[in-house]
């Protein structure tokens, strides 16, 4: 069955965990993988034990992240995947630039974070990346490599409950869907989505944390999204995770089918 009104409104990835999103018009999904370059890097906040040669899942508390470090949202970052260069802007100017695959480039980025948020660091900040090129490591909030899907109507329902505008980017999703009724995504657990040339299976609801309290434009913690969800809807969930089963291209505007 096809949900004719369901379509991709926007696609985002987050090359560095905790930093600003990068909007994509189209991308290619691969079986068992995240969006290309999604959470490809993270900034270690003090020694974490992460081994680049044998990358494993670590809880997000080991890294700089919005749940605790809301100032990150005030930064604007650009990532060029052709040369692995991260550019950080703050207060309307370029503050740091570095090729994350080189020692010099990583040092430049690490030096910026030492200057930017010294009181929030538990040790020297360090740019982390997994060395497994065949199956790139993702510093996702969950161990399984997944794609996160956010229903814009559900975000609108949260905004109504909060009595305040809610930027969908608070939920840091990969695929934003327009046309579904609110909470339709929760009815799709275990089902297959056909999006462009790809097929994804919905596997889990996303439990929200205090990172969603932070305004992604200002870095100000101005709402209580998990509390609003619990009080208004009886759960703290918004969005779902899906696993890519069949690879293929997806693009903004693509219709979404179910059970295809």
List pLDDT tens digits, range 169-183. Answer: 999 999 999 999 999
For residues 208 and 2, the model is more confident at: 208
The tally of domains found in the chain comes to: 2
CA-to-CA distance for 13 and 25, rounded, in angstroms?
Answer: 11
Give the pLDDT confidence of 183-231 residue by residue, as tens digits: 999 999 999 999 999 999 999 999 999 999 999 989 999 999 999 999 9
State yes or no: pLDDT of 5 exceeds 90.
Answer: no
For the cut 60, the answer to whether the pLDDT of residue 2 exceeds it is no
In sequence order, the 6+-apart residues with CB closer than 8 A to the CB of 145 are: 32, 33, 34, 138, 243
- Least confident window among 13-27, 65-79, 124-138: 124-138
User: Are residues 21 and 84 located together in one domain of the fold?
Assistant: no
Give the residue-averaged pLDDT of 2-20.
87
| Residues 234 and 106 placed together within one structural domain of the fold | no
pLDDT at 259 over 90: no
Q: Are residues 249 and 196 in the same domain?
A: yes
The H or E element spanning position 107 is: helix 103-116
Residues 50 and 107 in one domain: yes
Boundary residue ending a domain (74, 99, 129): 129
Average pLDDT over residues 115-133: 92
Reduced to 3 states (helix: H, G, I; strand: E, B; else coil), residue 154 is helix
* pLDDT score, position 85: 97
Which residues, 6 or more positions from 234, have their beta carbon under 8 angstroms from its beta carbon? none
CATH number for the domain including 158? 2.40.33.20
Which is higher by pLDDT, 108 or 135?
108
pLDDT tens track for 53-111: 999 999 999 999 999 999 999 999 999 999 999 999 999 999 999 999 999 999 999 99
Q: Which residues of 66-105 are buried (b: 16+ CB within 10 A; e: fewer)?
A: bebbbebbbbbbebeeeebbbebbeeeeeebebbbeeeeb
Domain assignment present for 137: no
Would you state the pLDDT for residue 3? 44
The verdict on 52 and 84 lying in the same domain is: yes
3-state helix, strand, coil in the chain (%, to 5): 20, 35, 40
Helix axes 225-233, 152-162, angle to 10 degrees: 90
What local confidence, expressed as pLDDT, does residue 260 receive? 59
Q: In this structure, what DSSP letter does residue 181 have? A: P
Phi-psi region of 7 (alpha: psi -120 to 50; beta: other; left: phi over 0): beta
Residues 29, 71 within the same domain:
no
- Asked if residue 135 belongs to a domain, the reply is no
Domain around 75? 41-129
Strand bridging mode 76-80 / 255-258: unpaired
């Amino acid at each position: 069955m096809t949900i004719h009104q369901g379509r991709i409104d926007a696609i985002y990835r987050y090359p560095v965990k905790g930093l600003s999103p990068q909007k994509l018009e189209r991308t290619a999904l691969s079986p068992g993988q995240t969006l290309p370059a999604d959470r490809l890097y993270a900034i270690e906040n003090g020694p974490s034990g992460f081994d680049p040669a044998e990358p494993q899942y670590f809880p997000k508390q080991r890294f700089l992240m919005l749940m605790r470090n809301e100032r990150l949202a005030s930064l604007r970052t650009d990532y060029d995947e052709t040369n692995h260069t991260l550019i950080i802007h703050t207060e309307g100017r370029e503050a740091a630039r570095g090729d994350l695959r080189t020692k010099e480039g990583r040092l430049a980025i690490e030096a910026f974070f030492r200057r930017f948020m010294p009181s929030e660091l538990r040790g020297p900040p360090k740019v982390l990346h997994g060395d497994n090129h065949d199956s790139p490591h993702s510093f996702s909030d969950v161990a399984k490599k997944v794609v996160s899907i956010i229903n814009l109507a559900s975000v609108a329902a949260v905004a109504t409950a909060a009595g305040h505008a809610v930027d969908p980017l608070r939920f840091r999703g990969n695929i934003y869907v327009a046309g579904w009724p609110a909470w339709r995504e929760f009815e799709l657990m275990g089902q297959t989505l056909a999006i462009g040339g790809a097929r994804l299976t919905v596997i889990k609801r996303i439990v929200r944390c205090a990172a969603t309290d932070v305004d992604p434009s200002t870095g100000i913690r101005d709402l209580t999204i998990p509390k609003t969800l619990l009080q208004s809807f009886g759960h703290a969930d918004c969005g779902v995770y899906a696993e890519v089963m069949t690879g293929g291209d997806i693009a903004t505007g693509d219709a979404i089918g179910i059970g295809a």
